[in-house]
């Protein structure tokens, strides 16, 4: 079904949206920016650098305060937050003649839409990313809130089969209300490239075997364990370097680990990097790894960066947690390994780095896999088929 068959005006309610970085925000941008602009209004959080981004966006973007440290009803700040958000929704739904609300998460966006639905007839749907509902289930209050949101939602879009299984296991919804929509990639933007000696020299990668990770610097992404694995990898492959691209709460901890292990010459953190240079890093690296693991109930729901790397023709490795295996053809375009221990990572990477032909073949298969199953246009058409059923 083509995007131009969309027959309703949709308000997308999400705290996570560009210009901030992050997988879910990028997912919503890539999806909704490809739908007819006159049908979409994005309501998202305030941001200091938003004006320039918003002025070039195809759809209308409304910015309201969408950040709150307390998402429950037991705190006064939480109650005030939901009251203000619902009042904003009331105004914006009327102003833009909205037919349906799409919520970026169950909490807190879905809670706001649920509360608004109690005073209106505007239906809503919710996206689920896996870690969001896992975390909510650990709080009695949040657990009850999620149940109410899911009960009243028209349907729930899960970013992976793994996330859908979590929703069912926690008794939030059954199969009849769940839809699977994997995030994808712009395969015309993330493309393979010939080796670029100038870029590699600029990055200090000449004659190096380059391993990269792209993602927020947080525990479940596993950059810490990969850094710990580097001394064991360097024993076998002294030409290896590890480049971590991203920002986040674990930056200082990761830098301290690099210093403590004496890895300044072999491991680098790139927290400020342009989109063009990030894509070039994908294209010029030799191997991509997302060494994710489960931390308490925090998991990697899907792993868009794994898809982006494959689109650039690179072999990928992911941790055996969450929905990462759904991004690849396991054993052909990439591998899923236990990333809870640094020595496990080192053993697997030492074996793979020695198999250059296998890595090249895997990269070729990864690109073919993305083109066949994970290009954004296919996802847009699938999404519209969901959106127009109701």
Domain at 3-184+376-387: CATH code = 3.40.50.2000
Percent of the chain with pLDDT over 70: 98
Whether the Cβ atoms of residue 273 and residue 327 lie closer than 8 Å to each other: no
Q: Show me where the domains of the chain are located.
A: 3-184+376-387, 197-373
Helix axes 342-353 and 356-373, enclosed angle (nearest 10): 100
Distance CA 34, CA 125 (A): 19
Whether the Cβ atoms of residue 299 and residue 351 lie closer than 8 Å to each other: no
Structure-model confidence comparison of residues 185 and 378, the more confident one: 185
Distance CA 105, CA 135 (A): 12
Average pLDDT value for residue range 114-133 = 93
Average pLDDT value for residue range 296-313 = 89
Indicate if the pLDDT at residue 49 is higher than 90: no
Tell me the pLDDT tens digit for each residue of 15-31: 999 998 777 888 899 89
Using 50, 70 and 90 to split pLDDT, how confident is the model at 334? very high
Using 50, 70 and 90 to split pLDDT, how confident is the model at 390? low
Cα distances (Å, whole numbers) of residue 108 to 52, 104, 128:
27, 9, 12
| pLDDT for 2 | 57
Taking domain 197-373, whether its CATH number is 1.10.10.10 is answered by: no
Indicate if the pLDDT at residue 184 is higher than 90: no
Query: Would you say the CATH fold of 197-373 matches that of 3-184+376-387?
Result: yes
| pLDDT for 228 | 98
| pLDDT for 61 | 97
Q: Where is 101: in which H helix or E strand?
A: strand 100-103
Average pLDDT value for residue range 221-242 = 97
Distance CA 307, CA 187 (A): 10
Whether the Cβ atoms of residue 28 and residue 40 lie closer than 8 Å to each other: no
Tell me the pLDDT tens digit for each residue of 372-389: 888 887 778 888 877 776
| pLDDT for 4 | 64
Percent of the chain with pLDDT over 90: 78
Strand, coil or helix: what is 290?
strand
Residue 100: DSSP 8-state: E
| pLDDT for 3 | 58
Whether the Cβ atoms of residue 121 and residue 143 lie closer than 8 Å to each other: no
């Amino acid at each position: 079904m083509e995007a131009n068959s969309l027959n309703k005006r949709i308000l997308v309610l999400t705290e996570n949206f560009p210009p901030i970085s992050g997988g879910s925000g990028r997912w919503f941008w890539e999806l909704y920016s490809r739908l007819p602009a006159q049908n979409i209004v994005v309501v998202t959080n305030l941001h200091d650098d938003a004006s320039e981004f918003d002025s070039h966006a195809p759809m209308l973007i409304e910015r309201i305060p969408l950040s709150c440290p307390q998402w429950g009803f037991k705190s006064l700040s939480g109650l005030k937050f939901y009251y203000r958000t619902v009042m904003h929704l009331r105004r914006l739904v009327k102003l833009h003649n909205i037919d349906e609300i799409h919520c970026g998460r169950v909490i807190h966006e879905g809670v706001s839409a649920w509360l608004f639905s109690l005073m209106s007839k505007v239906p809503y749907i919710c996206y689920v990313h896996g870690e969001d509902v896992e975390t909510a289930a650990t709080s009695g209050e949040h657990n009850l809130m999620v149940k109410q949101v899911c009960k009243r939602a028209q349907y729930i879009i899960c970013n992976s089969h793994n996330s859908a299984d979590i929703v069912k296991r926690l008794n939030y919804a059954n199969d009849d209300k769940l839809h699977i929509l994997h995030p994808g990639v712009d395969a015309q933007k993330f493309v393979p490239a010939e080796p670029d000696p100038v870029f590699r020299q600029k990055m200090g990668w000449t004659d190096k075997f380059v391993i990269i990770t792209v993602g927020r610097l947080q525990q479940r992404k596993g950059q810490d364990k990969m850094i710990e694995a580097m001394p064991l990898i360097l024993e076998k492959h002294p030409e290896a370097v590890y480049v971590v691209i991203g920002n986040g709460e674990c930056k200082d901890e990761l830098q301290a680990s690099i210093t403590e292990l004496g890895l300044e010459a072999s491991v680098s953190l790139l927290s400020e990097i342009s989109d063009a240079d990030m894509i070039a890093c994908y294209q010029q690296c030799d191997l991509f790894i997302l060494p994710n693991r489960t931390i308490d109930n925090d998991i990697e729901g899907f792993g868009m960066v794994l898809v982006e790397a494959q689109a650039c023709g690179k072999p990928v490795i992911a941790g055996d947690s969450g929905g990462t295996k759904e991004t690849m053809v396991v054993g052909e375009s990439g591998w899923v390994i236990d990333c809870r221990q640094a020595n496990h990572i080192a053993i697997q990477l030492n074996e793979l780095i020695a198999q250059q032909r296998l890595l090249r073949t895997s990269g070729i298969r990864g690109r073919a896999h993305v083109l066949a199953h994970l290009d954004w246009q296919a996802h847009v058409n699938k999404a519209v088929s969901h959106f127009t059923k109701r």
